[in-house]
């Protein structure tokens, strides 16, 4: 009994002695009778990224997108819960189911989006193999539960255990798978756990591949484990459930301790041989390099000597040519001098003959017997001079 104050933004529920209640909204100041009870209502608030899930007394559920607020009225509501809206990035999607009457529809909601389910909608919850937190190559059934389905390419590590060759060597093959969801509707209709399908298919392919080879042959042909053609069952199964296997990467293998010890010893031996071969090859290359350099230097020296010899011969040849030219010029000069001397001599002789002939003509004019005179002077020249006189 007394006054009660209801502040602004508050609501209160007042019950009388008959159990009847009424809601009073503030700001207000009320008088309570002795038989009346007073109860402030709890307010529930949802932001822009939230919604209120309201369940009434009849069991009906409604969702109210934020921003909003609602008071929990015990006369009408059974519960009010604030829940976060589902945020989707551009590479995520949701599988949404909706019931209308007796019909249930399914749709895919692609991001980016903010999803608030209606009262008749619910989300598909996936439960796949999950990777072990302590071993990324070990997968645990039904360990990964989620609602957002990734649309971007994914990858997984997996070790295929108990792989046996045809000579009974048991080993563990390490792989890495790259896959991409291409048809979500097909995946939803065909499988409930694609990872399990991948594991089963890749195990079958690897076991089939190794069973046809001996341990030594397997070691030589491990490069084929990085080719998609080696995994026909994996590729077919992935295509059937709406996925594409983009690549398979072989990461190595691990055999038993004894086999691994023998393999390590063989690898060490081969490595040592390869190192020795490389060392010998480097030595041979060095020797060949030295020989080539020595041959090159010898050839250079020969070229230099040849060039010097040719230069010396050329100099000597030029000197001989110069000497020959000098000798030719001297000879030509001597010939010229001899020719000039002969010409002068002939001129002198001709002048002497003309003088002698003039003298003879003078004697002839004086009445001297030239024949008698000439015979007395030089009997050997009589005939010649007589001939000259006659010609004159």
How confident is the model at residue 224, as a pLDDT?
94
Q: Residues 84-142: pLDDT tens digits?
A: 999 999 999 999 999 888 899 999 999 899 999 988 889 999 999 999 988 888 999 99
Q: What DSSP state is assigned to residue 214? A: -
How confident is the model at residue 9, as a pLDDT?
85
- Write down the H helix ranges in the chain: 184-190, 194-211, 215-220, 232-240, 257-365, 370-377, 382-391
How confident is the model at residue 271, as a pLDDT?
81
Token pair, residue 124, equals: 């598909």
How confident is the model at residue 388, as a pLDDT?
56
Spatial contact of 374 and 389, defined as CB atoms under 8 Å apart? no
Give DSSP secondary structure letters for 68-132: EEEE--TTTEEEEEEEEPEEE-TTEEEEEEEEETTEEEEEEEESSEEE---TTEEE--EEEEEEE
295-325 exposure pattern, b = at least 16 Cβ within 10 A, e = fewer: eeeeeeeeeeeeeeeeeeeeeeeeeeeeeee
**Closest by alpha carbon to 360, among 323, 328, 322, 387?**
387
What's the CA gap between 73 and 352, in Å, rounded?
176
Tens-digit pLDDT string for the chain (392 aa): 578 888 888 899 888 888 788 888 889 888 888 778 888 899 999 999 999 999 998 888 899 998 999 999 988 899 999 999 999 999 999 999 998 888 999 999 998 999 999 888 899 999 999 999 888 889 999 999 999 999 899 999 999 998 998 888 888 999 999 999 999 999 999 999 999 999 999 999 999 999 999 888 898 899 999 999 999 999 999 999 999 999 999 999 887 666 666 666 766 787 888 888 888 888 888 888 888 888 888 888 888 888 888 888 887 887 888 788 888 888 888 888 777 777 777 887 777 777 777 777 777 777 767 677 666 766 555 555 555 555 55
How confident is the model at residue 163, as a pLDDT?
92
Rg (CA), the chain: 64
Spatial contact of 93 and 113, defined as CB atoms under 8 Å apart? no
Number of Cβ within 10 Å of residue 216's Cβ equals 13
How confident is the model at residue 329, as a pLDDT?
81
How confident is the model at residue 44, as a pLDDT?
94
Q: Residues 169-187: pLDDT tens digits?
A: 888 999 999 999 999 999 9
How confident is the model at residue 234, as a pLDDT?
95
């Amino acid at each position: 009994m007394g006054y009660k104050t209801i502040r602004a933004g508050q609501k209160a529920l007042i019950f009388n002695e008959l159990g009847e209640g009424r809601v009073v909204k503030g700001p207000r100041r009320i008088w309570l009778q002795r038989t009346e009870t007073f109860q402030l209502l709890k307010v529930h608030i949802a932001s822009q990224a939230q919604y209120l899930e309201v369940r009434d007394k009849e069991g009906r559920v409604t969702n109210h997108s934020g921003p909003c607020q609602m008071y929990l009225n015990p006369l009408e509501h059974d519960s009010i819960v604030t829940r976060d809206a589902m945020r989707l990035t551009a590479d995520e999607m949701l599988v949404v189911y909706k019931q209308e009457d007796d019909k249930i529809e399914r749709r895919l909601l692609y991001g980016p989006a903010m999803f608030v389910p209606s009262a008749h909608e619910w989300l598909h919850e996936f439960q796949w193999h999950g990777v072990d937190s302590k071993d990324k190559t070990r997968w645990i059934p039904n360990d990964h539960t989620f609602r957002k389905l990734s649309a971007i390419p994914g990858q997984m590590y997996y070790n295929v255990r108990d792989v046996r060759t045809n000579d009974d060597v048991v080993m563990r093959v390490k792989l890495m798978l790259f896959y991409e969801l291409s048809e979500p509707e097909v995946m939803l209709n065909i499988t409930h756990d694609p990872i399990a399908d991948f594991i089963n298919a890749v195990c079958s392919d690897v076991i089939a591949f190794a069973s046809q080879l001996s341990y030594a042959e397997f070691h030589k042909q491990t490069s084929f484990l990085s080719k998609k053609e080696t995994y026909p069952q994996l590729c077919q199964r992935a295509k059937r459930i709406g996925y594409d296997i983009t690549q398979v990467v072989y990461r190595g293998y691990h055999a038993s301790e004894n086999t691994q010890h023998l393999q390590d010893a063989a690898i060490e031996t081969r490595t040592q041989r390869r190192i020795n071969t490389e060392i010998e090859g480097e030595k041979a290359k060095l020797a060949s390099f030295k020989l080539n350099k020595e041959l090159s230097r010898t050839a250079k020296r020969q070229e230099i000597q040849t060039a010097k010899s040719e230069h010396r011969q050329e100099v000597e040849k030029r000197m001989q040519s110069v000497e020959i030219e000098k000798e030719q010029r001297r000879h030509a000069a001597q010939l010229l001098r001899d020719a000039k001397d002969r010409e002068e001599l002939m001129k002198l002789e001709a002048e002497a003959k003309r003088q002698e002939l003039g003298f003879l003509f003078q004697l002839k004019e004086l009445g001297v017997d030239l024949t008698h005179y000439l015979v007395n002077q030089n009997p050997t020249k009589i005939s010649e001079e007589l001939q000259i006189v006659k010609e004159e």
